[in-house]
Structure 1
């Protein structure tokens, strides 16, 4: 089957970034080696994001959208995107565009052999506090999951859709996507990607949800790992 990619773009109060998102993702879709669709998931934005999203989608057939009635969080937005995806590959990128759409090509080089390929933000352009809190959180998470990933918070990933749809998502589990692929006996890989400063809008995560929140989520993951159902069908008749 020929590869096709749906890129999920979670949006929460990003009206100042959406014009740039349209421009950069349109350019990437035109240059990509495989067909690309873009799916906005508006997570209950209170600004003009939905108005802008509908305008973008009306002007281009490669864009589509879902809009939540209320804010439900990043994991819910990603889960909704997974559920809606009909292509055999699904990825996502944040609407702040601190990662480059063109770097999806770096991930696509490996997705044939692997079931999830994630970016690792090289030379991060964030504050010292943000970088250190993320580094500590990633260390804690690795200790719980043994997934070997250095930067699961990187908002640039590609997953084979059949694996993505089997992930039992709960709030905060977007940080554990590689570990959840391993639970399915899938293969994962990380690839260095570019990182840029946020130039518009506001970050949605503070010290609490970079450190203490992920620590609590680790215990939820451990519980899920013990209860996770995985099986392989030997025959059908």
Structure 2
């Protein structure tokens, strides 16, 4: 089967969420407007995630995986997924399913006009502290990047694969995906989507990765923007 869209799902100690991911995506595959498969990126999980992932992929060719030797963090997992994907379009969603795969269909409506379509979480179901820190971080990021995005941390995105593969790698990358597409002269748009509470697994957040880390990453982005090389080949012989 020839696929048109690959959904990248980073996994770090998500053994309790993986069965729900599979059942949800098996249902989604039937309604997706494009032929779709899923790529698990196991970021060095120390629980039973790898065994479960292998069982899933052995049972259904629409599920694939790559596995890190050790934990490298979310940005590395996303980048590895981007580098592995071979379909024209790729998507991104978190294994906790706080966003709904069905909402990929809302994003895909804009795939011909935009190179990155990102969700923006309406009525977020996170804690007050997490929401507050995210709002501050987004204000800081927008002041540096001028990307116009309200919720770059939203774990639901569609990207043209050729643009995704040209994104340079650095820690904190996932907060700057729209800005990195804009550096390539691509077009971005945000679309309201649904958001749900986490019902299994453990979220990892705090003052550093919600506020101080993103602030430091903004300076890294400004350095990269000054050094960024962008070119278009118009003819080959």
TM-score by length of 2: 0.98
- Unpaired runs of at least 5, structure 1: none
Preserved CA contact (<8 Å) 1:119 1:192: yes
Preserved CA contact (<8 Å) 1:3 1:89: no
- Unpaired runs of at least 5, structure 2: none
Preserved CA contact (<8 Å) 2:38 2:64: yes
Preserved CA contact (<8 Å) 2:3 2:36: no
2:101 counterpart residue number: 101
Q: How many Å separate the matches in 1 of 2:130 and 2:20?
A: 24
Q: How many Å separate the matches in 1 of 2:232 and 2:92?
A: 28
Q: Please identify runs of 4+ aligned residues in structure 1 that moved more than 4 A.
A: none
Preserved CA contact (<8 Å) 1:4 1:88: yes
The answer to whether residue 77 in structure 2 is matched with residue 77 in structure 1 is yes
Deviations 1:24-57 (A, max 9, x none): 0111012111100100000000100111111111
Preserved CA contact (<8 Å) 2:99 2:156: yes
The answer to whether residue 90 in structure 2 is matched with residue 90 in structure 1 is yes
1:37 counterpart residue number: 37
Deviations 1:167-212 (A, max 9, x none): 0021111100000000000000000000000001100222210100
Q: How many Å separate the matches in 1 of 2:225 and 2:106?
A: 30
* SS state at 2:54 partner: helix
Q: How many Å separate the matches in 1 of 2:123 and 2:222?
A: 31
1:163 counterpart residue number: 163
Preserved CA contact (<8 Å) 1:130 1:207: no
Q: How many Å separate the matches in 2 of 1:153 and 1:72?
A: 18
The answer to whether residue 184 in structure 2 is matched with residue 181 in structure 1 is no
Preserved CA contact (<8 Å) 1:118 1:156: yes
Deviation, structure 1 residue 235: 3.2
Preserved CA contact (<8 Å) 2:3 2:37: no
TM-score by length of 1: 0.98
Tell me the C-alpha RMSD between the 2 structures.
Answer: 1.1
